[in-house]
Amino acid sequence: MKETPLIPAGVKRCSTWQFSLWMTAATAVLAWGVYAMILIWWKGLNQTNMNDAYGFALWIWADLAIIAIGGGAFFSGFLTYIIGKKELKNIINFAVIIGFICYSCALLILAIDIGQPLRGWFIFWHANVHSMLTEVAFCLSCYFAVLTIEFIPLILENPKLNKKPFLHHLSHNMHGIMAIFAATGVFLSFFHQGSLGGVAGVLYGRPFAFREHIFIWPWTFFLFTWSAAACGPCFTILVTWITEKITRKKLVKQSVIQLFAKISGWMIITYIIAKTIDTVYWAFVTAPGMGFTLMDFYASPTYNIGILFAEIVLCGFIPGLILITKRGRENSFLLMTAVILAVIGVCLNRWVMVLQVMAVPVFSFNDWYTYWPSWQEVATTVLPVAYGIIVISLAHRYLPVFPQEKELNPID
Amino acid sequence: MKEKNNHKHAKRYGMVIDLDKCTGCGSCMVGCYSENNVPFKTDETNKLDSINWIQVYKITNGKPFPNTEVCYLPMPCMQCDGVGKHGHSPCVSVCPAVATDYDYETGIVSQIYTRCFGCRYCMAACPYHARKFNWWDPVWPADMEKYLSPNVSPRMRGVVEKCSFCFHRYQLARDKAYYEKREELKENEYQTACAEACPTGAITFGDLNNKSHAVYKLKNSPNAFRLLERLKTNPKVYYLSNKRWVRRAGDNYLAHEEPAKIKQKVNQHH
Amino acid sequence: MKIDRRSFLTYGTALVLGGAAGSMLTPAPWKLTDDVAIWTQNWPWTPVPEDGEITYKQSVCTLCPGGCGINVRLVNGRPIKIEGSKDHPANKGSLCPMGISGLQYLYGPSRVTSPLKREGKRGEGKWKKVSWEEALTAVAKKLAELRENGRPQSVACITGSDRGTIPNLIGRFLTAYGSPNYIRSANAQDAIEQAIYLAQGKQGTPGFDIEKADFILSFGSGLLDGWGSPGRMFNLYGNQKPAKKIIQIEPRLSDTAAKATQWIGINPGTEGALALGIAHVIIKESLYDRNFVENYAFGFDDWTDDNGKAHDGFAKMAKKFAPEKVSRITGIPKAEIVSLARAFARASKPIALNGRGHGSVPGSIDESLAVQSLNALVGNINKPGGISAMPDSNYAKWPEVNIDEIASKGMQQPRIDGAGSEQFPNTRFLLNRLPEIINSAQGESPIQALMVTDANPLYTLPDTAATKKAFDRIPFIVSFSPYMDETASHADYILPNHSYLERLQDVPTSTGISLQVTGLAKPVVKPLYDTKHVGDSFIHMAKALGGFIENAFPWDDYEAFLKETLNDQWRKFKRKGVIEIEHNLPEPLAYTFNTVSGKFEFYPTARNSATQKENSALPSYTPVPIEGDVQRFKLVLIPYDSIRLASGYMANAPFMTKTVDDTVLKNQIGLLEINPATAKELSLKEGDTAILTTPKGKATVKIHLYEGIMPGIIAMPRGLGHTAYSEYLADKGTNFNELIGPIEDPTSGLDMAWGIRAKLTRA
Amino acid sequence: MSSTDPNQTVSTEAAPETAPTPVDHEPETNDSPPSKSSGWAVFLFFMIGFVGSILSGWILFPELLYSKKDQPIDFNHAVHLDMVSDECNSCHYFRDDGSFAGMPDLSSCVDCHEEAQTDDPEEIKFVDEYVTPGIEVPWLNHSKQPDCVFFSHSAHVIGADMSCESCHGDIGTSEHTRVFEENRLTGYSRDIWGHSISRLGKPEAGEPLPMKMNDCAKCHKEETGHKGACFQCHK
């Protein structure tokens, strides 16, 4: 194979044509997304189905959701480098790559989402420090830089690159100080994950989103950070599992997964308890104070009370309970069910905090607002998925992402 | 120069709209369109992408024939003072690029189209749907560009706009006052286009802090109310109606609540 | 150093990296980042309005017959906004949305910018630009040809108004030319005017002193929906709201009804019965003005004519309309009728008025007479706070027209529309009868050439299909419209008039107002396009026709003509913009009437009673017939007027259409209002698409549930469904006139149809 | 396949020529020769790029960014200033509504220049090309603010008693017009950004002040204590 020198030693990869076919498929989807993106930049946001009532829609949800599920990166960093769970080194590379993908996409989506992309830098230059979005933008960019730095040594471990002494040393030295970056990442993540919670929580004109007193600060901020820390690892596990299925080999030892899942389970449980307290206070104190009953917020056929049940019980308590029990974790069906539910749960939470906030009528004489994304919105939201598949495929093929791969899949 | 920023003499321009006088004719909307260079499209029936700085809502009491009643409700930007009257209006605090600010001299919430980069966070924050996004580039067909007013800058695609309380009229009135070496504006020197256009005189505009202005007295009427007061947005647009159902429709109440009592409670907090 | 491909790439990369690093230390990337942002702030395709000196010009709005004063703001002489003029006595600063949108007509895409000659088929939209000389010569040639053939009467002219100097100039032209067929578009004033003429013997526009009245009983008049002079009505409402009681009687909760003191739903077309029912109660309870009825009225009691024939009086006839019976007819509870009658009679200055919606459909003479009888019963006639017939301000005094033999022969022919004939002796214009007359004519059309100005009959006449058929039979159609309206787009020649802001014109007393105010519409801007004042076009054609016709027009142009007309008032007029003539008749004089009896005639003796029940001229009640089979068409479709929709010869400006609610128009489809109970019976929901069928036509509509409409009645707005103009108006909703046909009033010939039977099926 | 190392790209592309069958370790020789020979050369190229872009960024870029136009008439402010009674205000006056008329229109000039008063070719040109046919002179305004700006001359000149020179420099005593430099991208006059493209350093005495928003805000902050609300100067 002509690309052999690029492939890490001691592992087996699929044939070039297989890989090319796979990449072509992913690239086609990517191209569709890029086409939609160019269309939007060229013609403006009239290419979307957003409107004045739905100024925030699919994209902002996608942003919030991918940042949440990309939270596996900072949290595994936190566990590995700060708490000292060294086993997690076996999955942290992958978590960083997923994080990198998620955050680069989040920034890209923001760049598509704004009406005047060429003025996007105003958010930094003319920053309003009171705005949650400013905080998000700053931390997001900084953390993306951190993730890039965390990703670089991994890239440099590509056999071909690693042969250059300069790059080899660079990689080595960067690994050495990775703990500092991990800590920085954790610090930044606490900020922007929390701020993302604030994005909706501070909207005191939106009774569905608004939280008062400690339930905005630090509660909502905390909830967002915590849920990202809880469900991010689940997404990392999920993507690892998918990668294993596709490559038809085990890449990470089950013990590592189990540990990650267990921690995640406890995080989910604690998060969902806090979320429940928040919901109860909001439903029985905050909302009635503004003239709303809980059921007013769930009075639409789309947004019925089932959503709240799904978010808290089905995708909250249930996965949490599965993951904290040993038997649940060890049963691979239950484990994956819990992981998937947890990921859905956090995405649903972000959906509710964006889409439902817009849908709820604030005036007694208004009806529920409905919104259905245009194909351009869908395409640009699918774009990150295709991009993620491409990056992961390349990374897996050419980089020693999984330290345990050789051990688990000896080449005879 | 040394025109120090003196908050003591600050004005709080506001509006009182008498809903019993409003006939829903739409003159305020058209007056606003033509004053403020508001664009129009071939199809304006999707009210969610139609730019209106003041929009007249039609609400009914929901009772069947023949007890049905209709009330028209013109809604400009409420120019919220926000929690604690510190200019912490829902939109101003969220704008990431200071494209909208609260003017302490007039109490008016600005929107600067050239600063706005179109993130629409302010639209998500505003419960009144007062903010509109320029989804399209504006187009004035035939020779219609010739009627555009130089006093209001036409907006480009991709930015948010909203009612400015015809701030340019304040600017022009101030120009005249400077020229005549006066400190203060007269009540009729600065009026919004909608207040002027309203053919029944339902809209009264003035300084809510000035006891000699008509709005000062009107806002203290027992029939006065503001929209969504319970959210503590602290709007500067007041409404009058002698119909109870109309006053109740202006906010959200639980079944057992009485608007007048709630209003008292809310206002005590301010 | 050997440069091969590999090192080339290496060095190239180094060069680029160096360049990139270096540029960071120059202003270039930072300045460009900023400049690109500034470029987005000043996109060349976003207009930058030119700044300059702000000035104001006063004029009068002629977009509707309201005649409101306007104040036009200009920047460097460029009109940029229209506001109401506070100095005008009619509207006192108030203006309707149409008036404010005025500049969109001036600069808009539906302007006809030069004379046009039709190229393709009629209505195809293919035109050739021609010079004024060519166009006017062509029209004059056609007119000369018809005269040479001895058929000057086959030329007709449709106008929007018959008052003021422009209609007079056109009338003068037709007289000199030899055609009696000057036809003015119909409006609700026609029926009221005729009722007043029959009862009072005075020809004049009806004036309602709503300013001073304290109780307004409106039989469906859209007082706040664009009736009369909208600016004036809004102004009155806003300023005098607490001082007035307004009772609105109509099947639908219109904006007027919503703002009225009380809204009373009534079965459509039964308003006349209610008026008589109210009269019944007033007479029965002796609440009427005895002084007026006994001393100044005729025909209240039974009477005998010179031939010894006995006639019933009004009182006897009203007796037949007991509240129980009226309640059954109108659907209004008996007690309501009684209390309404008492309140009306006991008010100090009550006014009853009719003429539905904007007041563009004449309606039944019986109904107008019954309503006028109510005003007579309370004696509120020719008094402050009452109603009166306003004589035309007769400032137009021109030399007599001398006509030649051909013209004289032509003028002796009967009017083609039948107005003034034996059948309809008191009616002046009957445009609604024209399509039927042309369509039923044997051989060629009795009208060989049609000129249209300030009117758009192809849109506004009921039964659009029949109107179009009739127009297709007319061989030569000339439009003077400044806008590409439906009629203009079916014309053979368009000789575009100046738009209303570019032309000089006198504007006589606003409709319905009880003041005599004549306004002067002065050009606020020089004509933007190659257009010509319609008066100048006619003067030009008169000169081209020569002879007696030319002699009838000794003026160079319209301005000279107007100047001479106004004589010594010209300068004052020009300076002030309005002439006010106070109309305050001293009280005893006010009760002088020009009828045969010299009194107010409850029994209108001048009325042709041949077609009436029992050969009586009394305003009896026969339900206004509603076309359509009750079994097939179970619903009644009525139109409604809204101030945000222009339904007359001027159509909506884009701004007005922008204000239209999404419960009236959604995308290109109009919404039909239906009571939720009725909708439920038909299993229709909000937003459903349905097919609306009437005996006259079919339309696709969307359903809008509205509690404010009587069950069994459905309503749609007038003013939509245009086929001409620009994409900002065309093909939006349905033209109500496509769904309804005219119904002739038997004694006046005027159209009195307001509703038509209909059915709804889910699409 | 992406990487920042140029050599990397080369080797991938070179691969097809070398090995048609899978080999575990591709010979390293491929990498060595260029890396040996290129060290200084790479640095040299880097420096060429570095210095080159610094020079072009500081010298060439401003030349390219601005177009240069002459005023339609070479107007002599000094001559006029001597003749008028009310200094700048004689021609650049306030209207009665307090708005500032800015550049005078032809009607202000016609009183004196109905016919040429001197044999100055510029004046003759002015009379022939503009006054006689009645065409307004398309002056190029050095201080023209973009459409989004509402600048109140009366607030500054009357309200704050500022002199014209304090912003516009000594244009009033100039004998010739300056070249008008227009930013090709934004359409702004160069005076708005300021003549120093880096915006470092201060304008020399008599030069007009830069008039970007930060310049306004800076002065407002100094004079009034704060920058002012957006709507004070935006429309």
Contacts with B114 from chain C: Cβ below 8 Å: 41
Q: Which two tokens stand for residue C718?
A: 């007038």
Q: Could you check whether the bond before residue D133 is cis, i.e. omega within 30 degrees of 0?
A: no
Chain D residues in contact with chain A using a Cβ-Cβ cutoff of 8 Å: 1, 3, 5, 7-8, 11-12, 15-16, 19-26, 28, 31, 35
Whole-angstrom distance, CA of residue C23 vs CA of residue C130: 62
Of D145, D141, B163, D231, the closest CA to residue C42 belongs to D145
Mean pLDDT value across residues D40-57: 91
Q: How far does CA C295 lie from the centroid of its chain?
A: 38
Amino acid letter, C354: N
Tokens 């009719």 belong to which residue? C354
* Cβ-nearest to D6 among C9, C44, C48: C9
| Inter-CA distances, A390 with A43, A90, A150, A397, D3, Å | 28, 22, 19, 10, 15
pLDDT of residue D13: 36
- Domain co-membership, C453 together with C563: yes
pLDDT digits (tens, 9 = 90+) for A99-140: 999 999 999 999 999 999 999 999 999 999 999 999 989 988
Chain C: nearest CA to A119, how far in angstroms? 5
* Cβ(A220)–Cβ(A201) below 8 Å: yes
pLDDT digits (tens, 9 = 90+) for B196-251: 999 999 999 999 999 999 999 999 999 999 999 999 999 999 999 999 999 999 99
- Domain co-membership, C299 together with C178: no
pLDDT of residue A7: 87
Whole-angstrom distance, CA of residue D71 vs CA of residue D90: 21
Q: How far does CA B159 lie from the centroid of its chain?
A: 19
- Domain co-membership, C423 together with C514: yes
pLDDT digits (tens, 9 = 90+) for C655-689: 999 999 999 999 999 999 999 999 999 999 999 99
* Cβ(C175)–Cβ(C401) below 8 Å: yes
Chain D: nearest CA to A19, how far in angstroms? 13
Whole-angstrom distance, CA of residue A393 vs CA of residue A27: 12
Whole-angstrom distance, CA of residue D90 vs CA of residue D80: 10
* Cβ(A27)–Cβ(A20) below 8 Å: no
Q: Is the pLDDT assigned to residue C360 strictly greater than 80?
A: yes
pLDDT band at D9 (very low <50, low <70, confident <90, very high): very low
Of C314, C313, C224, the closest CA to residue C275 belongs to C314
- Domain co-membership, C402 together with C507: yes
pLDDT of residue A3: 64
Q: Is the pLDDT assigned to residue D6 strictly greater than 80?
A: no
Of A227, A243, A235, the closest CA to residue A260 belongs to A235
Q: Is the pLDDT assigned to residue C582 strictly greater than 80?
A: no
pLDDT of residue C584: 57
Chain D: nearest CA to B169, how far in angstroms? 10
Helix (H) or strand (E) holding C713: strand C713-717
* Cβ-nearest to A51 among B49, B121, B160: B49
* Cβ(A92)–Cβ(A178) below 8 Å: no
- Domain co-membership, C241 together with C362: yes
Residues of the domain holding C329? 205-390+586-615
- Tell me whether strands C310-311 and C303-304 are parallel, antiparallel or unpaired: antiparallel
Of A350, A210, A348, the closest CA to residue A285 belongs to A210
pLDDT band at D2 (very low <50, low <70, confident <90, very high): very low
Partner-chain contact C707 B64, CB within 8 Å: yes
Q: What is the mean pLDDT of chain A?
A: 93
* Cβ(C257)–Cβ(C702) below 8 Å: no
Residue in chain C closest to D43 (alpha carbons) equals C14
pLDDT of residue A139: 87
Look at residue C97 and tell me if it is in a domain: no
B7-269 domain in CATH 3.30.70.20? yes
Contacts with B94 from chain A: Cβ below 8 Å: 130-133, 202-203
Beta-strand runs (E) in C105-239: 116-118, 127-129, 155-159, 182-184, 205-208, 215-221
Helices C558-566 and C165-177, axial angle in degrees (round to 10): 110
pLDDT of residue A393: 95
Residue in chain A closest to C34 (alpha carbons) equals A119
pLDDT digits (tens, 9 = 90+) for C62-105: 999 899 999 999 999 999 999 999 999 889 999 999 999 999 99
Whole-angstrom distance, CA of residue B38 vs CA of residue B47: 14
- Domain co-membership, C517 together with C415: yes
How many other CB atoms sit within 10 Å of the CB of residue C607? 25
Whole-angstrom distance, CA of residue C314 vs CA of residue B267: 62
Whole-angstrom distance, CA of residue B22 vs CA of residue D130: 53
- Tell me whether strands C476-479 and C449-452 are parallel, antiparallel or unpaired: parallel
Of B53, B36, B28, B76, the closest CA to residue C96 belongs to B28
Chain C: nearest CA to B143, how far in angstroms? 5
Residue in chain D closest to A162 (alpha carbons) equals D8
Partner-chain contact A161 D12, CB within 8 Å: no
Q: Is the pLDDT assigned to residue D27 strictly greater than 50?
A: no
pLDDT of residue A170: 86
Contacts with A9 from chain D: Cβ below 8 Å: 24
pLDDT of residue C396: 67
Look at residue C555 and tell me if it is in a domain: yes
Q: Is the pLDDT assigned to residue A275 strictly greater than 50?
A: yes
pLDDT of residue A182: 87
Is the pTM value of this prediction over 0.90? yes
Q: Is the pLDDT assigned to residue D18 strictly greater than 60?
A: no
Partner-chain contact D98 B176, CB within 8 Å: yes
| Inter-CA distances, C202 with A209, C65, C193, C373, Å | 70, 21, 9, 15
Whole-angstrom distance, CA of residue C700 vs CA of residue C669: 7
pLDDT of residue C680: 96
- Tell me whether strands C310-311 and C756-762 are parallel, antiparallel or unpaired: unpaired
Whole-angstrom distance, CA of residue C120 vs CA of residue D43: 76
Look at residue C598 and tell me if it is in a domain: yes
Chain A: nearest CA to C34, how far in angstroms? 8
Q: Is the pLDDT assigned to residue D36 strictly greater than 70?
A: no
pLDDT of residue A24: 96
Which of A125, A131, A139, A356 is the best residue to mutate to test the B interface, defined by the most B CB atoms within 10 Å of its own CB?
A131
Q: Which two tokens stand for residue C755?
A: 């509703």
Look at residue C194 and tell me if it is in a domain: no
Partner-chain contact B94 A113, CB within 8 Å: no
pLDDT digits (tens, 9 = 90+) for C474-511: 999 999 999 999 999 999 999 999 999 999 999 887 77
pLDDT of residue A75: 93
Whole-angstrom distance, CA of residue A355 vs CA of residue B57: 24
pLDDT of residue C391: 75
| Inter-CA distances, C179 with B210, C171, C550, Å | 67, 9, 16
Look at residue C458 and tell me if it is in a domain: yes
Query: How many domains, chain C?
Result: 4
With H, G, I as helix, E, B as strand and everything else as coil, classify residue A317: helix
How many other CB atoms sit within 10 Å of the CB of residue A364? 15
Q: Is the pLDDT assigned to residue A269 strictly greater than 80?
A: yes
Look at residue C50 and tell me if it is in a domain: no
Higher pLDDT, C265 or C401: C265
pLDDT digits (tens, 9 = 90+) for B193-202: 999 999 999 9
* Cβ-nearest to A46 among B98, B117, B136: B136
Residues pairing with B109 in the sheet = B102
- Domain co-membership, C264 together with C374: yes
Residues pairing with A67 in the sheet = none
Count CA within 13 A, CB hemisphere, residue A58.
19
Q: What is the mean pLDDT of chain C?
A: 92
pLDDT of residue A2: 57
Q: Which two tokens stand for residue C311?
A: 């006639």
Residue C313 sits in a domain whose CATH number is 3.40.228.10
pLDDT digits (tens, 9 = 90+) for C519-540: 899 999 999 999 999 999 999 9
Residue in chain C closest to B156 (alpha carbons) equals C46
Query: Where do the domains of chain B lie?
Result: 7-269
Q: Is the pLDDT assigned to residue A392 strictly greater than 80?
A: yes
pLDDT of residue C8: 79
Higher pLDDT, D64 or C9: D64
Contacts with A123 from chain B: Cβ below 8 Å: 96-97, 117, 119
Q: Residue ranges of chain B with pLDDT lower than 70?
A: 1-9, 85-86, 268-270
pLDDT digits (tens, 9 = 90+) for A142-196: 999 999 999 998 998 888 888 877 788 888 888 888 888 888 998 888 888 999 9
- Domain co-membership, C466 together with C515: yes
Q: What is the mean pLDDT of chain D?
A: 84
pLDDT of residue B8: 54
Q: Is the pLDDT assigned to residue C148 strictly greater than 50?
A: yes
Look at residue C163 and tell me if it is in a domain: yes
Which of B120, B134, B136 is the best residue to mutate to test the A interface, defined by the most A CB atoms within 10 Å of its own CB?
B120
Please, which residues 59-118 of chain B have a Cβ atom closer than 8 Å to chain C? 60, 62-66, 68-72, 113-114
pLDDT digits (tens, 9 = 90+) for C612-657: 777 788 988 887 788 888 899 999 999 999 999 999 999 999 999 9
Residue C646 sits in a domain whose CATH number is 2.40.40.20
Contacts with B35 from chain C: Cβ below 8 Å: 81
Chain C: nearest CA to A118, how far in angstroms? 6
- Domain co-membership, C573 together with C591: no
pLDDT band at C589 (very low <50, low <70, confident <90, very high): low
Which of D29, D55, D186 is the best residue to mutate to test the C interface, defined by the most C CB atoms within 10 Å of its own CB?
D186
DSSP string of A41-59, one letter each residue: HHH-GGGSS--SS-SS-HH
DSSP string of C57-103, one letter each residue: EEEE--SSTT--EEEEEEETTEEEEEEE-TT-TTTTT---HHHHTHH
pLDDT of residue A176: 82
Q: Which two tokens stand for residue C567?
A: 């004589």
Query: Where do the domains of chain A lie?
Result: 15-362+378-396
Range name among A354-363, B180-189, C238-247, C422-431 with the lowest pLDDT average = C238-247
Helices A221-247 and A178-201, axial angle in degrees (round to 10): 120
Which of A54, A58, A116, A292 is the best residue to mutate to test the B interface, defined by the most B CB atoms within 10 Å of its own CB?
A116
| Inter-CA distances, D202 with D166, D169, D210, Å | 14, 13, 9
pLDDT digits (tens, 9 = 90+) for A85-96: 989 999 999 999
pLDDT of residue B72: 97
Give the burial class of C87: count Cβ atoms within 10 A of its Cβ; 0-12 exposed, 13-18 middle, 19 or more buried.
middle
Of C554, C541, C425, the closest CA to residue C480 belongs to C541
With H, G, I as helix, E, B as strand and everything else as coil, classify residue B53: coil
- Domain co-membership, C356 together with C447: no
**Does A361 lie at the interface with B, CB-CB under 8 angstroms?**
no
Whole-angstrom distance, CA of residue D51 vs CA of residue C26: 11
Of A157, A4, A7, A156, the closest CA to residue D26 belongs to A4
Percentage of chain A beyond pLDDT 70 is 99
Partner-chain contact A2 D16, CB within 8 Å: yes
pLDDT digits (tens, 9 = 90+) for D166-177: 999 999 999 999
Q: For B222-241, b where at least 16 C-beta lie within 10 A, e where not — what string?
A: ebbbbbbbbbbbbbbbbbbb
pLDDT band at D12 (very low <50, low <70, confident <90, very high): very low
pLDDT of residue B85: 62
Contacts with D150 from chain B: Cβ below 8 Å: 151, 168, 171
Contacts with D226 from chain B: Cβ below 8 Å: 5
Q: What ipTM score was computed for the predicted complex, to two decimals?
A: 0.93
